[in-house]
Structure 1
Amino acid sequence: MDEEGELWRLEESFWLGGAQTFRSSMADGAIMVFPYPAGILQGDRITDGIGSAPRWRSVLMRDRTASIRGNVAVLAYRAEAERESEPLREMLCASTYIREEGGWRLMSHQQTPVDASTAAGSSDG
């Protein structure tokens, strides 16, 4: 599998996997930014939060963009994800990976909800 394909596979595993995926594939000191109420999480707060939250049952990553420079990779995309008994959620996401011994590790991840005005392309100016 090529490097970019490996990164996208890893990214999907964070959506669909459990706390063990996070423990085995996150860099030390990783930071994640989620919509309210989760907010900004780092280290054990990430795995604790994942362990207590319902997992996603599906994710579709559209408009994929990747940039790999040496030992750093950034993925950006639009996610459509759903959990059991919850409506589909749409988010703009960005993840940064660093290559360490043993492979790629997630260093940061951010999810920004897509609202109707954003999806329709409206602007304030």
Structure 2
Amino acid sequence: MEDSRLWTFEESLWTEGPDNYREKVDAEVVMVLPRPPFVLRGDAAIDAVAATPVWETAELSERQVSRPQEGLIVIGYKVHAQRGDEGYEAHCTSTIRRIEHEVWRVVQHQQTPALAKPLTDG
């Protein structure tokens, strides 16, 4: 998957509804989300994101892409999502694997809200 398609794919997970999640997120996905129970897998993860209202816009910046092997893409980015007066910023990672030609699924996603304080030594 070329970069422009990759970022359009990821952005759609922020701005499109539950049917999009069910199409693009693998049944064996592992997610870490910023609300309890935090660590979710499979249908519980898909249901958690499907129950969240979609964002009107999502700007993905600080984009990083790694292709550690054929058919596997790991991305990291910062998102600024907006819906009405509500905004959300987070640092995210997603791992996407190819199922078959031109068919890709998210197998891992993690969000760290941007307001989280960085770890310090001591």
CA–CA distance in structure 2, aligned partners of residues 26 and 116 of structure 1 = 26
Partner of 2:50: 51
Distance in 1 separating the partners of 2:24 and 2:89: 24
Q: Distance in 2 between matches of 1:17 and 1:93?
A: 18
The 1:117/1:41 distance shift into structure 2, 3 A limit, reads closer
Partner Cα distance (1:34, 1:71) in 2: 25
Matches within 5 A, 1:1-125: 3-37=2-36, 39-68=38-67, 69-86=69-86, 88-101=87-100, 102-115=102-115, 117-118=117-118, 123-124=120-121
- Structure 2 regions of 5+ residues with no counterpart? none
CA–CA separation in structure 2 for the residues paired with 1:4 and 1:123: 34
Distance 1:21 1:38 in 2: 23
Deviating 4+ runs (over 3 angstroms): 122-125
TM-score by length of 1: 0.83
Deviation digits for residues 59-90 of structure 1 (CA, Å, limit 9, x no counterpart): 1111100012311100101111123342x221
Quote the Cα distance in structure 2 between the aligned partners of 1:54 and 1:21.
13
Question: What CA distance in whole angstroms lies between the structure 2 residues aligned with 1:8 and 1:55?
Answer: 17
Aligned-pair distance for 1:39?
A: 1.2
AA of the residue aligned to 1:21: N
User: 1:42: Cα distance to partner?
Assistant: 1.9
Provide structure 1 residue ranges, at least 5 long, that are not aligned to the other structure.
Answer: none
Instruction: Return the TM-score normalized by structure 2.
Output: 0.85
